Amino acid sequence: MLNKVLASIRRVDVIVEVLDSREPDLTRSKEIERYAVKNGRQVIIVLNKIDLIPREVADRWKDYLSKEFPTVYVSTKMRQGTRLLRDSIKEALKGEGNVAFVGYPKTGKSSIVNVLKGRKSASVSSQPMSTGFTKGIQLIKIDSKIYALDTPGIIPPHGNPFEKAIRGSNPDNLENPIPPALIILEKVFQVSPALLETTYKVNYLNGMQFLQDLAKHRGWINKEDKEPDLDLAAKTVIKDYHNGKITYYTLPPE
């Protein structure tokens, strides 16, 4: 799967690496960035979902990441920053060319392409390629002379169980969704002590108790042992982190 990402990088002039602004470091792939740079491709970093973090935190991450690559922050949900992103892509491409959106699952690649393409586009396969396209690859028009690859470069999630969960592994494929869910819950609780209760109508004292009570509250009972289905509660927490129902933030290194 990584090979697919590398192939899409070779096909375009500009790479937009989409990060989740809550965990930019964990959703960043230095390997992908190095590959792009080595192959003479420009990289633009996008911090997405900034509606989920304080603005000062977004600014700090932007300053930090800008030391390496041009960085823009956006919220596709709130339609914030997308014009600046379009202008940055245009500038990097000097007005025309192709761009690939890459990133871990769930960072918002599809949402960004959807916002950028607006209403102007049907995808076009007939566009002549400046960079050696094979036939049959679909492009999406996102500006008068700018096209995006229609299949986002999905970086396969790897790392420890928490990193895998944050990097968008399907929770159903995690060996055990409970440990990463517990870390997410604790971070959410530290940043916004009331958020879990208002979101789920369940008290938070500690993570295990919370998963238990969430499962009971929703009537999720494990068929085998008739106990509250903690796995299902944990998967729900991970999914809700990705869809933005619950949130926290991290800070860049000093």
Ligand X SMILES: Nc1nc2c(ncn2[C@@H]2O[C@H](COP(=O)(O)OP(=O)(O)O)[C@@H](O)[C@H]2O)c(=O)[nH]1
Footprint on this chain of Mg ion (rule: CB under 5 A): 110
Span between the terminal Cα atoms of the chain, in Å: 34
Which span (27-35, 59-67, 104-112, 210-218) binds ligand X, by CB under 6 A? 104-112
Question: Interface with ligand X includes 76 (CB under 6 A)?
Answer: yes
Which span (131-139, 170-178, 224-232, 236-244) binds ligand X, by CB under 6 A? 236-244
Question: Interface with ligand X includes 167 (CB under 6 A)?
Answer: no
Question: Interface with ligand X includes 244 (CB under 6 A)?
Answer: yes
Question: Interface with ligand X includes 163 (CB under 6 A)?
Answer: no
- Work out how close the CB of 79 gets to ligand X at its nearest, in angstroms, rounded to a whole number: 9
Which span (136-144, 177-185, 198-206, 240-248) binds ligand X, by CB under 6 A? 240-248
- Work out how close the CB of 152 gets to Mg ion at its nearest, in angstroms, rounded to a whole number: 5
Q: Which of 11, 22, 62, 109 binds ligand X (CB under 6 A)?
A: 109
**The 3-state secondary structure of the chain, one letter per residue:** CHHHHHHHHHCCCEEEEEEECCCCCCCCCHHHHHHHHHCCCEEEEEEECHHHCCHHHHHHHHHHHHCCCCEEECECCCCECHHHHHHHHHHHCCCCEEEEEEECCCCCHHHHHHHHHCCCCCEECCCCCCCCCCCCCCEEEEECCEEEECCCEECCCCCCHHHHHHCCCCHHHCCCCHHHHHHHHHHHHHHCCCHHHHHHCCCCCCHHHHHHHHHHHHCCECCCCCCECHHHHHHHHHHHHHHCCCCCCCCCCC
Q: Which of 39, 110, 131, 222 binds ligand X (CB under 6 A)?
A: 110
The token duo for 142 is 């996102």
CA 126 vs CA 152, 169, 215: distances in Å: 19, 34, 51
- Work out how close the CB of 50 gets to ligand X at its nearest, in angstroms, rounded to a whole number: 7
Which span (25-33, 53-61, 73-81, 197-205) binds ligand X, by CB under 6 A? 73-81
φ, ψ (nearest 5 deg) of residue 236: -65, -45
φ, ψ (nearest 5 deg) of residue 44: -120, 130
Out of ligand X, Mg ion, none, which partner does residue 107 contact, by CB within 5 to 8 A per kind? ligand X
Q: For residue 247, give the nearest of 27, 51, 24, 81 by alpha carbon.
A: 51
- Work out how close the CB of 239 gets to ligand X at its nearest, in angstroms, rounded to a whole number: 9
- Work out how close the CB of 128 gets to ligand X at its nearest, in angstroms, rounded to a whole number: 27
Question: Interface with ligand X includes 152 (CB under 6 A)?
Answer: yes
Question: Interface with ligand X includes 51 (CB under 6 A)?
Answer: yes
Out of Mg ion, ligand X, none, which partner does residue 52 contact, by CB within 5 to 8 A per kind? ligand X
Question: Interface with ligand X includes 107 (CB under 6 A)?
Answer: yes
CB-based closest residue to Mg ion: 110
Which residues contribute to the site for ligand X (CB under 6 A)?
A: 48-49, 51-52, 75-77, 103, 105-111, 152, 242-244
